[in-house]
Amino acid sequence: MPAATPSPTPFHRAATALGQWIDSDYCPGGVEKMRAEPDRVDWVRIMPFIFLHAGCLGVIWAGASAFAVWTAVALYFIRMFAVTGIHHRYFSHKTYSTSRVGQFLLAVFAGTTVQRGSLWWACHHRHHHLHSDEPEDAHSPHVHGFWWSHIGWITSRRNFPTDYSKIRDLAKFPELVWLNRFDFVVPILFAVSLFGCGSLLAVWAPGLGTNGPQLLVWGFFISTTVLFHGTGCINSMAHLMGRRRFRTSDDSRNSAILAFITLGEGWHNNHHRYQSSTRNGFYWWEIDPTYYGLKLLAFTGFIWGLKPVPQSVLAEGAQADHHASVEAARLAAALHPELSFSSLKKVVPAAAALAVATAAAAQTTLPNKGDDPAIHKDVTALAHELNGHKPPPSLVESSRAPDA
Ligand SMILES: [Zn+2]
Ligand SMILES: [Zn+2]
């Protein structure tokens, strides 16, 4: 019987962590062994991450200017686009195509987000979809609690390695593996560039009132720290906050607030229902700036082959919204029986019908009434019922879903 491999001593763990500062693939015991360890915060490994947060305090010495603050805001949204449009919708889900040079440039751009390499990101995200809200899910708030899913999991030693065997489609590109392995290179170059730009502006455009240290603190430390927490909100809150349109096997939700913070990722329940689409906002009223940005990129020819949401999924969503609206009308009627002739009972079903009609108009290829009467059923009948009328037999008949 082979002898059990001794668990690493604190000294070995610290030495491994220091090695990973430079080479994130440095893993003497092997990736599988490290991945099998229990969750444990690796304090040595996360020193750069702590330094990123501590760097925000540099504002005490660097001060502020309108230019520096707006740079931080702009870099937040530009790089949130990189997180969602590149780390997530390209590398994790391959929802569009580009050239080999194109994907390298995308990976460099995504490296400025300081969320480690695109391959590490994709590897862990695909794992999340495989095990959503199960014990294996590294950042499920239902399993591990809010703070662990927001920030804790990223500090855990077992979550640092990239398991290339799980992302063979990406691991076959050595240039991507190199960027992933030495994931400190792009962030350092980015930070130095910001310092350099600030220093040049201090000389060339003194009226802006900025300088190197100020752009470094605002453009890199503050903007990147906020960007991390904005992204983390999807892990911690998108399975807690919002509405569930689709009955997925997890607890993912749609939230307009999270969609604003993350440029469209807040439509998380949609995404869990259908991951291969380039857009997460399935309907026109679900604002998805990342998708609009990708559409613009597609016009330039830099990317192509954006994948749509299948009509069957759109129809399923429209039906779910319709039934939820009708249910809300029924609930309103049940809660306020004294309002049996109130305008509320006329307005709510009418609003439901309007919502469905709007959805159908936005998606012109949705099934027609003749194809699937179930989509249009019972709003009109319900309006008759709520007003104390008996629906005409023809209406009842036509609203009946066809036999399977
Ligand atoms: Zn999720
Ligand atoms: Zn995803």
Q: For residue 121, give the ligand nearest its CA.
A: 2
Q: For residue 234, give the ligand nearest its CA.
A: 1
Could you tell me the distance, in angstroms and rounded to a whole number, from the CA of residue 89 to the centre of ligand 2?
A: 7
**CA–CA distance, 363 with 376 (Å, rounded to integer):** 15
List, in order, residues 6 or more apart from 344 with CB less than 8 Å away. 332, 336
Mean pLDDT value of segment 315-337: 84
Residue 326: per-residue pLDDT: 84
Could you tell me the distance, in angstroms and rounded to a whole number, from the CA of residue 74 to the centre of ligand 2?
A: 24
Q: How confident is the model at residue 22 (pLDDT cuts 50, 70, 90)?
A: very high
Q: For residue 236, give the ligand nearest its CA.
A: 1
Name all contacts of 257-261 with Cβ < 8 Å and 24+ positions apart: 258/233, 258/234, 259/286, 259/287, 259/288, 260/287, 261/230, 261/233
Could you tell me the distance, in angstroms and rounded to a whole number, from the CA of residue 271 to the centre of ligand 2?
A: 7
List, in order, residues 6 or more apart from 54 with CB less than 8 Å away. none
Could you tell me the distance, in angstroms and rounded to a whole number, from the CA of residue 136 to the centre of ligand 1?
A: 13
Q: Largest Cα–Cα distance in the chain?
A: 82
Of the candidates 72, 69, 68, which has an alpha carbon nearest to the alpha carbon of residue 198? 68
Paired with 146 in beta bridges are: none
Mean pLDDT value of segment 50-78: 97
Least confident of 3-17, 135-149, 246-260, 302-316: 3-17
Phi and psi for 97 in degrees, rounded to 5?
A: -120, 160
Contact 35, 161 (CB under 8 A): yes
Residue 328: per-residue pLDDT: 81
Q: What sign has the CA pseudo-torsion 164, 169, 175, 180? A: negative
* 258: its two tokens: 């999270």
Contact 98, 278 (CB under 8 A): no
Could you tell me the distance, in angstroms and rounded to a whole number, from the CA of residue 175 to the centre of ligand 2?
A: 23
Q: For residue 88, give the ligand nearest its CA.
A: 2
Least confident of 178-182, 281-285, 363-367, 385-389: 363-367
Write out pLDDT tens, residues 207-234: 999 999 999 999 999 999 999 999 999 9
Region of 85 please: left (phi>0), alpha (psi -120 to 50) or beta.
alpha
Residue 343: per-residue pLDDT: 60
What SS3 class is residue 186?
helix
Could you tell me the distance, in angstroms and rounded to a whole number, from the CA of residue 253 to the centre of ligand 2?
A: 13
92 alpha-carbon distance from chain centroid: 11
Residue 347: per-residue pLDDT: 63
Q: For residue 124, give the ligand nearest its CA.
A: 2
Could you tell me the distance, in angstroms and rounded to a whole number, from the CA of residue 93 to the centre of ligand 2?
A: 7
| pLDDT of 385 strictly over 60 | no
Percent of the chain with pLDDT over 90: 71
| pLDDT of 43 strictly over 60 | yes
Residue 384: per-residue pLDDT: 46
Helix-helix angle 289-300:66-82, to 10 degrees: 80
Q: For residue 235, give the ligand nearest its CA.
A: 1
- Amino acid found at 343: S
Give, as one character, the DSSP assignment of residue 156. Answer: B
Could you tell me the distance, in angstroms and rounded to a whole number, from the CA of residue 76 to the centre of ligand 2?
A: 20
Could you tell me the distance, in angstroms and rounded to a whole number, from the CA of residue 300 to the centre of ligand 2?
A: 25
Mean pLDDT value of segment 247-258: 96
Could you tell me the distance, in angstroms and rounded to a whole number, from the CA of residue 106 to the centre of ligand 2?
A: 17
Residue 9: per-residue pLDDT: 80
Which helix (H) or strand (E) is 169 found in, with range? helix 168-171
Q: pTM to 2 decimals?
A: 0.81
Write out pLDDT tens, residues 115-153: 999 999 999 999 999 999 999 999 999 999 999 999 999
Could you tell me the distance, in angstroms and rounded to a whole number, from the CA of residue 87 to the centre of ligand 2?
A: 10
Which helix (H) or strand (E) is 97 found in, with range? strand 97-98
Report the relative pairing of strands 97-98 and 303-304 from DSSP bridges.
antiparallel
Which has more pLDDT, 313 or 390? 313
Give, as one character, the DSSP assignment of residue 366. Answer: S
Could you tell me the distance, in angstroms and rounded to a whole number, from the CA of residue 265 to the centre of ligand 2?
A: 9
Could you tell me the distance, in angstroms and rounded to a whole number, from the CA of residue 92 to the centre of ligand 2?
A: 7
| pLDDT of 365 strictly over 50 | no
Residue 191: per-residue pLDDT: 98
Could you tell me the distance, in angstroms and rounded to a whole number, from the CA of residue 18 to the centre of ligand 1?
A: 31
Q: For residue 132, give the ligand nearest its CA.
A: 1
Could you tell me the distance, in angstroms and rounded to a whole number, from the CA of residue 267 to the centre of ligand 1?
A: 10
The average confidence (pLDDT) of the chain is 87
Which has more pLDDT, 347 or 170? 170
Could you tell me the distance, in angstroms and rounded to a whole number, from the CA of residue 27 to the centre of ligand 2?
A: 27
Provide the 10 A C-beta neighbour count for residue 372: 16
Could you tell me the distance, in angstroms and rounded to a whole number, from the CA of residue 198 to the centre of ligand 2?
A: 36
Residue linked to tokens 């749509």: 308
Contact 391, 384 (CB under 8 A): yes
Could you tell me the distance, in angstroms and rounded to a whole number, from the CA of residue 251 to the centre of ligand 1?
A: 8
Q: For residue 271, give the ligand nearest its CA.
A: 2
Residue 108: per-residue pLDDT: 98
Could you tell me the distance, in angstroms and rounded to a whole number, from the CA of residue 272 to the centre of ligand 2?
A: 7
Of the candidates 186, 181, 188, 191, which has an alpha carbon nearest to the alpha carbon of residue 20? 181
